[in-house]
Amino acid sequence: MLLIIVSLETSLSTAIPLTVLANTKKPPPDQAPTSGRSSGSRGCGTTVASNSGPALILLSPTASPAQTVLTRPTFAWFVRDTASVPIEFRLYERENNSYKLVKGNTFKSTSGITALTLASSAPSLEVGKQYRWQVVLVCDSNRPSGNLFAESDIQVAPIQPSLKSQLERVRDNLGKAKLYAQENLLFDALGIVLKYPGNETQFKDFRLSLFNNITAHNPELQVIQNSTIRSVER
């Protein structure tokens, strides 16, 4: 059974000054992102079995870049370990052969799924542009090489008039998520079912079908689908 705990957090986060994050290592030009998973099974200061899976998994379609028609999408990731450590969310805009940091936040990690939606005060994404988002678990602030990170690309596509018209006629979140999925906009469909988990069986079944599209590894799927879900806005 999927256990869901939802809390909207808006004032407890601490924004990382962009001037500070600008000094961190940016994505190398023309280098593909990670597979959306931290390497190996090592966590932050924990001893785990070799088959326990990655400590950090981004919940995004495997196709890269993922497509979105939203300028304030929801980004989601899974953290395996229960130890609470600083976690950084970074969003870069691709410009020619370089990346420009446009948003950074830091807060405490929690075990399970975190769904982060860009707040109205945050810069909106621009149609036609490509972005790379990173999540970093800061295991030791004095030893950056020991931090765990995962990253994935996303591209903002223009919404088709027919889809926009259908979305305007649908009132419930599950219906909207299904419309996105029908257009192969799995990133947006997943964002809805994680931001608005819902309790009805149909909602849960559809969410699990989307999880099947982001991982083909059964152990990962098992642990993700049984995770708690925390919704935050930054």
Reported as a single tens digit per residue, the pLDDT across 120-174 is: 888 899 999 999 999 999 988 888 777 888 899 999 999 999 999 999 999 899 9
Provide the number of structural domains found in the chain. 1
**Is 1 within a domain?**
no
Place of tokens 């490509």: 130
**pTM for the model:** 0.83
Residue 220 lies inside a defined structural domain of this protein: yes
Residue 64 domain-assigned (yes or no): yes
The answer to whether position 6 is within a domain reads no
DSSP 97-118: TEEEEEEEEEEE--SEEEEEE-
Residue 200 lies in a domain: yes
Burial class (CB in 10 A: 0-12, 13-18, 19+), 232: buried
> Regarding beta strands 112-117 and 86-95, do their DSSP bridges make them parallel or antiparallel, or are they unpaired?
unpaired
What sign for the dihedral angle of Cα 29, 33, 38, 44? positive
Whether residue 106 lies inside any domain: the answer is yes
4 falls within a domain: no
pLDDT in tens, 81-128: 888 899 999 999 998 878 999 989 899 999 999 999 998 888 899 999
In a domain, 153, yes or no: yes
Computed over its alpha carbons, how large is the radius of gyration of the chain? 17
Print the domain residue range for 197.
14-233
Q: Are 137 and 151 in contact (CB under 8 A)?
A: no
Instruction: Give the CATH number of the domain where residue 31 resides.
Output: 2.60.40.10
